[in-house]
Structures are given as structure tokens and as C-alpha cells.
Structure 1
Amino acid sequence: MSTPDGLRLDLTAHHSEYLPADGGIVDVVAAVRAGPDGGRSRHDGLAEVILLDCSGSMGAPQAKMRAARRATLAAVDALPDGVAFAVVEGTSQATMIYPKQRRLAVADEDTRAGARQAVSRTSPHGGTAIGRWLLLARDLLGARPDAIGHVILLTDGRNESQQPAELKAAVEACVGRFTVDCRAIGTANGMHDWDGPELLVIADALGANPVVPVEDLDLLAGEFAAVLDRALTRRTADAQLRVRTSALARIRFVKQVYPTIADLTVRGVAVGDRTIDFPLGAWSPADRRDYHVALELDAMNPQARRRAGWLSVRVDEAVPGDETPVDVEWTDEIELFSQVHETVAHYTHQQGYADEVRLALAAAGEGRLSDAERHLGRAVALAHAGGHEDKLRQLERLVDIIDAAVGVVRLKPGFDLKQWQPSAVSAPQTSGWVPGGPPAGSGRSAPAPHPAPEQRVPPWEHCGQTHTSPYCAECGAHHESPDGPPPDGS
């Protein structure tokens, strides 16, 4: 579908259409692609807030604070005229750096110069209360409800000046108000004081963008400029993935699986009978994201064919999106129902890797080092099977790899959780599926189904309604031929 300002979002569904007769899960990868709209960004429709960590740890060493100031100045310099913006000092409180008043400025030559002077005077002091920083960003962006809100969050530490429940409440209060890009400063020797799972909670809830560790401080300014450049191309603030199921299907979960894994299930909002919208965040013309939709279906007799549901992307409630059907057939032929679509296999393999790293970090945090080693071994085997050399290099910071193929590893001596944080935030970052590419890990693959265009049939009655499509919109029953009765489902 097209957004009100012309950006086009297209959805393609990939799944294996066969189920065992005793029922099961249909795994669908919904690939959403944004097409170029040929238009230009409206900078007066954008609003940017930079949350700059100025806590005391940013002065140890002072190079961190200097790099953070340079990065913020680079972002300010890159602001085009017309963009609403603010820079916030983050410590145990949230304080305005520029402008001094709690409001957004509008970028022009004078305001950029004023912001540069104010940022240059910042110095490290105090604690870290990220929840308060986020709430101030929410209040600032709330003054521009018509704008596409975006936040750059830079930190080198964890939320030590607040209780976890306070941060959680602050994040929930910001959901749907803006998207955030997190950049986390570490050191060249791989030591990080920030908390990976903590930043992932923020990122997942506020746009599901990757959390990026930065160890080479000389690269920080380029990171800020690149993040801002992407934000300036946004055309819509919050698209929605709509999942409409027939009576025979239930949603088990909905996850974003590319470019990073984020569970959207609890974010779903019911908008009608068996219809739920899941937030997809802001979109630019070149964006591509993939989503894993799992539908649970009951048992049926072999060769029964039904429509489990429909998927669509929506931006404007008044403009209906084109629906993509999900059709399934029950079978007792193991050669059919055991097949896994190659797109689904590509992402479930990477989800398995992310789960093992998460479990390893949790075990290490509780002092269960043998369990952590075992989970990291499994992660190594999955990364090796999937050909993910980048993930193997990340894990080699934590373990000595003895046999990657079977996952035999040994934890490196001098265990320190500060070295684990980059692995924690990098694990959910995935490689996108490429048609015809090498298979991910093990498992059988089936070619993508190519459903025929929806055909109109003579009106027929089912579930108390009249239908002109081959499938009942209530229960998903298939009208097998224009002249024959619909199946009874027995």
C-alpha cells in the first residue's frame, strides 16, 4: 500500500502450506519492502532529540566525553533547516542543553550555532537515569504530534540512578511516541559498563532498531551522522502489520526478525473481530524488514484446504491495505508437512543463535559458568552451521573455540561480564534472507508457494454469510469449485 505522502509498502508472505493432519503451527515470514516514492523529505515534518550521556563515567577517560561532544556537533551540523530539534544532558536527571527552555528549536544557521556553543560547554558529572531522559524526550516531542519523532540515545553506562521498574514504566510511556537509535560506548579492549539487555528492552519497544556498540571513539561522529541521515528520510511515523485470522487460526506470536529480532506479540492491538495490528515503527523509502508470524491451527482431515488468515500493512486507517492470504492444506504425507520453507529456516536458525547467547548471558550473570559455556557452545555451532563469520568473531572474545561444528568451547580465563555486552546486543541482529542464497543451518526447504490470483465465484453461503471469493471470510473454508458445495470440514 502507499502512505499518504506516496511511500509504498509492499508485503510478500513466505511459508510452507502443508500441515500434519493432527494440526500444528504455520510459520509465515512476512517480507515488507518500502519503495522509493520519488518525493523529497519534508524537514518541517521531522523532530529530533539527542540524549547525550553526561554522567561521571563519561569522564573516565575524558576521551569518551570529547568523542560524544564531537558526535553531537556532527549531528547538529547535519540538521537541515526546518527540522525541530533539542539536545538533552543525561545524568541522574534530564536537563536541557539546547535550547535552555523545555521546548524544541527549529534548525537554521542561528540555532545550529547556539547548539554548538551549548554542547561544547558540557562536562561529565552525576549518575545515570535513562528513564528520565526518555520521558523528557517524550515531553519535547509531544509538542509536535504531527512530526515524525526520533531520538538518538548515547550512553556508556547502565541505569544505576533508577529502579528497574522506573525505567520499564518510562519506556512504556514512550511507546508509539518516537523511535530510538541506541549507541553504546565501550573501550578498545572490549570492556563495557552499559547493560546489553537493558538497552535491548528500550530499543525493542521504541522502534526495534539495532543497538550498536562503539569501541573506536573516532567512529562515533560518523555513526551519529549516519543515524541522522537515515532518520531524515522517514516518510511515515508508524506503520502497522495487520493480522486477520479465520475462525480456525490463533496467533501464537509475531516477531520482527530482520534487521534485528524483536518480539511484537505483546504490542498487538485488537482492532476488530480476530484482527490485530502490530506496530512496525517509522519507515523510509529504502527500508526492508521481515516479520515472523506464527499461526496455530487445529486438526483436520487430510486434503482439507483452508485459509488461515490474511496479512496486510497499514499506515492510514482510512486506506485499506492489500491483503495477502495465508492458505494451508492438511496432509498425512510426512514428506510434505516436514518441509520447512527456506525463508522461515533462515530466520528460525538465527533466532536460535540469539536465544543461546541470551541464555548464556543470564547464566553468567548468576555465576553458572558451566551453563554459560554450554549455551555459548551451542551458539558457536549455530553460527558455524549458518556461515556467520561475524558472529563467530564476536564469540571468540568470550570462548576458545575447540570444535565449531559440534560446539565444543572453553570459557576464556578472567571472566568479566563487561566483555559480554557487545555479544548480548549483537546476537539479535540478523542477516536478511536472499532468494537463492545458501540455506541457513539444517532442515529441509520447500519452494515458495505462488498462489493464483483471487478468483471470484458465484455467490455461495457459509457461516451465515454470502461470499464471492473461494474462501469463507469467517472460517477459512474453501469453495472447491463454483458448482460444488463448500467442504463440511469433517
Structure 2
Amino acid sequence: MEHADGRPLAVTAHHAEYLPADGAVLDVIATVRGPEPAGDVRHDGLAEVILLDTSGSMGAPQAKMRAARQAGVAAIDALPDGVAFAVVAGTGAATMVFPGEERLAVADERTRAAARRALQSLSPHGGTAIGTWLRLARRLLATRPDAIGHAILLTDGRNETERPEDLRAAVGECEGQLTVDCRAIGSADGVHDWDAAELLGIAEALGANPVVPVEDLTGLGDEFRAVLTRALARRVANARLRVRTTELARVRFLKQVHPTIADLTGRGVPDGELATAYPIGAWSPHDHRDYHLGLEVDPLAAGTRRRIGWLSTDTDAGAATVEVPLTVEWTDDTLRNSEIHPSVAFYTGQQDYAAAFHSGLAAARAGRIGEAEERLGRAVALAHDAGKDADVRRIARIVDVHDAAAGLVRLKVDVDWRRAEPSRVAAHTTTRWGADGDERRPPTPSSPVAPWSHCGERQTGAYCQDCGAAHGADGPASERR
């Protein structure tokens, strides 16, 4: 099959060259790129499930249901001949729309036409139990274990008709079996009834793809076509990022930091002596993902230079990259050992933004207004400094921004917290280091701080990555913006 032809992914590593002689955590940005494109492309190794929310809320207004049907048609039209596919209606249960029985059809002119006709019968009714939708997608894709499985999930609401633990269990059953792209419908005025935490949990476990809010329903069909085009370009299934260390180093954490922030630390599995493999999903030739690896490194005498680890990738097809070495030198020179690699600073700034926003929102909901305004102000200042005006506008749905550069904000009176959901998911979506984007200024942290300790961990940003506490919260440093 095209997806199992043994083409490797490419991996490179970026990190500071020097460490303090008394030891430290080395921050590494690992960049992984998709395989080289092949010539002839076949599609019989791909499988797609389209999960459409048809609960009662999709009829309020009816424009949502019409847009969902049209988006489903757009997705079906984007399926090349040979792709296995199915369409599922999601309510308090999961129901086959096409084909009529629980199986996958194979895309061709006849099956695409039949699927388009079946979509016209969809009408809104019932509740929302997303776990049942995912379980049906897993069962369908399990009938094609040779194929790369993907689902696109469209919803406008939260998981109300099944227990949270049932959804978590369903997501766990799907891990390693399929990847998912989530699209979440809200109203044109920014009110969203879905739960960001639920969708982020699904996305993080099933491919770490961005959760995208949709407020302009006229663009939903184009969004579905774009998602399907990317998904159907995948040629490598079940890739892994492998971290091998010497006895001088231990993995502290591994996070995906582009295109979304997702903690992969707990998903690693032993893979030989002093090595751990982390699942990083399916890949197309155009994919580019960055990962933030933290290695706790032992002290050594100043002037000593050692190799402390290696990075590589492999796949179920046996395609492995050559190991990329990680080499450092210990030094007592403070100027050298306090340097932060630009890629680390870039992604630390975006993680600081996410931490500031989430901790500020939590404080606001708990009624801690002063703390909320300080942290949400910090998020606004970071977004403004990075030139991310869209993030500032989203946060301005729940605060009045008096001075974006200084981070001076005030919570709006009688806030509708449903307006915060897009910001909650957007905080996990990052721009790529080194990309030519729309940034007006280099997106580095606006107020870099020296490494500090909190919750028993070394911190490099303005907020503790464990609890969200601000650097120097009990002293003058907390006042810096």
C-alpha cells in the first residue's frame, strides 16, 4: 500500500549548546516533517468516517442543519475513488446514514451519489453522546485494519446525554486506531454551546489536530473539503518519536507545540534500554509538527562536553530515521548557560499565553476578579506583542481591553462564558517557528524571565506550567508585564 512503503519521516533538533555545571533541564525543539511524496498515489489504503451532529440543537436555527448537510456533501465530493468511507448521524446514539448497515462503502461515482441522497434525510432531534459516535467510527474503521483511519467530527453542543467517564473511555478505545479533526459550530455573534475541554480532550488523544470554531456557516463546506484533502494525503500510519538518552539524562516531559499544544508525556512507552517511544499519529508529505522535549541533565565539571541523547522516528512499516544526536557542554559562564534557543523562546511564549489565558479564565469563573484581570491581561499583552490580533479580539469578548500592550483589561459585566470557548481552543493552536506568517513582530516572549522553580519543577516562562502561578507572585516580579 502507498501508506506503508517504508518512507521515513525527517527529524531535526534545536537546543542551547551550554548547560550550568550544576545541572539543569535542557529544552529541545524537535521538528518532524512528513515523508517525501511518492509518484503514483493510490487511495485504497485510506478510510474516512464523517460524524455529523444531528441533535435537537442543530435545528436552532435550522441554518445549522442545512450547513451540516452541505458540508457533508462537500466532504463526500472530496473523496477520491477507492477510499473506504461512511457517514454517521450523531445524537444520543450513533446512527448509520450511509451505507445503511454498519460497514464502510468504497468511494466511486455511484456510492458518492447515494451518500449525497442519504444526507438529505437528516433532521435535528435528540441529545448528544459523542462517545457513542467515536465508538461507531472505531468499529467501522476496524473493518479495514490495513487502512489509515480518520474521522471528521462536527458538533454544536456538549456531551450531555452520556457520563464524562463514558466519553473518556470511548476516546481511550480509539487511541492508536484513528485520528480526528473536530469542527465546532457557534453563532455568528460568538456564542458557543460546546465544551472546549471535551473537544480538546478528544483532539489531544486522537492526533493532536486543532479544534476549529466555526461561526460563519457559509464557509463550512470549504472547511470540510480542506480537512478531507489534508487527511487523504496521509501515507504513513502510526508514527513514533523515539527519545533515547544516556545515563546522564532523563525525560522530564514531551509536548507537541505545533500545530497545537498537546502533552504527550504520559503516552510514552519503553522502547529499549533508556529509550521511550511517543505516538505521533499519521502523516502526509506536507505535515510539519514541532515537539518540546525537556531533558533533566545531571551536573558535570565545567568544560566537559558529552552526548546526552538521540532523537529519531519510526513507523509500523519499519521506516526509521537516522538518530539525531543531542550534545551539550557544561559551563560556569552565566552568559552562556542562560542562553535560550530562539525556537524554545518562540514556543515558550505561546505556552505562556495558553497558561495565562486558562488560569485567568479559571480565576474569573471562581470569582477571583483581580487575579483574573492580571492573568487575562498578561494573555492580551503576549498576544499583542506577537502580533496576534485575532487572539486579542477573541479575549475582548469577555474583557474590555484598555491597553493591549500593557495588558490592562477589565472583566465585562455579566459575562456570557460561552463566548470564551473559541479562545479556550485557540490558546492551544500555535504558529510555526520559522514560518513566513502574518506576524508584525517576532513572536518572542514580551517579558523574558530567568529560569525559576515552582511546584518542584524548573520553569522558563512567566507562569508555572503545572499550576499556572505567576512568576514572583509574592514579590515585585508579579507586577512586570
For normalisation by structure 2, the TM-score amounts to 0.89
Find the counterpart in structure 1 of residue 219 from structure 2. 219
- Is 1:407 aligned with 2:377? no
Find the counterpart in structure 2 of residue 57 from structure 1. 57
Find the counterpart in structure 1 of residue 181 from structure 2. 181
Find the counterpart in structure 2 of residue 299 from structure 1. 299
The superposition leaves residues 153-194 of structure 1 with CA deviations (integer Å, 9 ceiling, x where unpaired) of: 000000011111111111111000000000000010000000
State the SS of the aligned residue for 1:180: strand
Q: Judging changes above 3 Å, is the alpha-carbon distance between structure 1 residues 355 and 229 closer, same or farther for their aligned structure 2 residues?
A: same
Q: Judge which range, 52-61 or 390-399, deviates more.
A: 390-399
Cα distance in 2 for partners of 1:150, 1:212 equals 16
The superposition leaves residues 307-338 of structure 1 with CA deviations (integer Å, 9 ceiling, x where unpaired) of: 11100111147444210011111111100011
Amino acid at match of 2:55: S
State the SS of the aligned residue for 1:101: coil
The superposition leaves residues 170-228 of structure 1 with CA deviations (integer Å, 9 ceiling, x where unpaired) of: 11110000000000000100000001111000000000000000000001011111101
Q: Judging changes above 3 Å, is the alpha-carbon distance between structure 1 residues 6 and 54 closer, same or farther for their aligned structure 2 residues?
A: same
Cα distance in 1 for partners of 2:311, 2:93 equals 43
Find the counterpart in structure 2 of residue 77 from structure 1. 77
Find the counterpart in structure 1 of residue 244 from structure 2. 244
The superposition leaves residues 349-405 of structure 1 with CA deviations (integer Å, 9 ceiling, x where unpaired) of: 000101112222333443444433222111012112223222222222222211222
Q: Judging changes above 3 Å, is the alpha-carbon distance between structure 1 residues 270 and 443 closer, same or farther for their aligned structure 2 residues?
A: farther
Find the counterpart in structure 1 of residue 42 from structure 2. 42
| Contact kept in structure 2, 1:3 and 1:316, CA below 8 Å | no
Cα distance in 2 for partners of 1:163, 1:282 equals 29
| Contact kept in structure 1, 2:46 and 2:83, CA below 8 Å | yes
Cα distance in 2 for partners of 1:60, 1:89 equals 17
Q: Which runs of 4+ in 1 moved over 4 A?
A: 442-445
Higher Cα Rg: structure 1 or 2? 1
Cα distance in 1 for partners of 2:388, 2:287 equals 23
| Contact kept in structure 1, 2:19 and 2:331, CA below 8 Å | yes
State the SS of the aligned residue for 2:271: strand
Cα distance in 2 for partners of 1:237, 1:372 equals 42
Q: Judge which range, 202-211 or 404-413, deviates more.
A: 404-413
Cα distance in 1 for partners of 2:300, 2:414 equals 56
The superposition leaves residues 241-260 of structure 1 with CA deviations (integer Å, 9 ceiling, x where unpaired) of: 00001111110100111111
- Is 1:31 aligned with 2:31? yes
Amino acid at match of 1:154: L
Find the counterpart in structure 2 of residue 146 from structure 1. 146
Find the counterpart in structure 1 of residue 134 from structure 2. 134
The superposition leaves residues 124-165 of structure 1 with CA deviations (integer Å, 9 ceiling, x where unpaired) of: 010000011001100000010100000000000000111111
Find the counterpart in structure 2 of residue 485 from structure 1. none
Cα distance in 2 for partners of 1:165, 1:367 equals 28
Find the counterpart in structure 2 of residue 450 from structure 1. none
Residue 74 of structure 1: how far off its partner (Å): 1.0
The superposition leaves residues 287-324 of structure 1 with CA deviations (integer Å, 9 ceiling, x where unpaired) of: 11111011001222211222111001111474442100
Find the counterpart in structure 1 of residue 444 from structure 2. 440
Q: Judging changes above 3 Å, is the alpha-carbon distance between structure 1 residues 165 and 147 closer, same or farther for their aligned structure 2 residues?
A: same
Amino acid at match of 1:441: P
Cα distance in 2 for partners of 1:279, 1:303 equals 36
Cα distance in 2 for partners of 1:328, 1:151 equals 42
Find the counterpart in structure 1 of residue 421 from structure 2. 421
Aligned residues between the structures: 444
Find the counterpart in structure 1 of residue 166 from structure 2. 166
Find the counterpart in structure 2 of residue 350 from structure 1. 350
Residue 38 of structure 1: how far off its partner (Å): 3.4
| Contact kept in structure 2, 1:67 and 1:217, CA below 8 Å | yes
| Contact kept in structure 2, 1:8 and 1:37, CA below 8 Å | no
- Is 1:283 aligned with 2:287? no
Amino acid at match of 2:335: E
Find the counterpart in structure 2 of residue 482 from structure 1. none
State the SS of the aligned residue for 2:266: helix
- Is 1:360 aligned with 2:364? no
Amino acid at match of 1:404: A
Ranges in structure 2 where 5+ consecutive residues have no aligned partner:
450-481
Cα distance in 1 for partners of 2:425, 2:199 equals 8
| Contact kept in structure 2, 1:339 and 1:444, CA below 8 Å | no
Q: Judging changes above 3 Å, is the alpha-carbon distance between structure 1 residues 364 and 42 closer, same or farther for their aligned structure 2 residues?
A: farther
State the SS of the aligned residue for 1:405: coil
- Is 1:388 aligned with 2:392? no
State the SS of the aligned residue for 1:431: coil
Residue 6 of structure 1: how far off its partner (Å): 5.9
Q: Judging changes above 3 Å, is the alpha-carbon distance between structure 1 residues 316 and 242 closer, same or farther for their aligned structure 2 residues?
A: same
| Contact kept in structure 2, 1:130 and 1:167, CA below 8 Å | yes
Ranges in structure 1 where 5+ consecutive residues have no aligned partner:
446-490
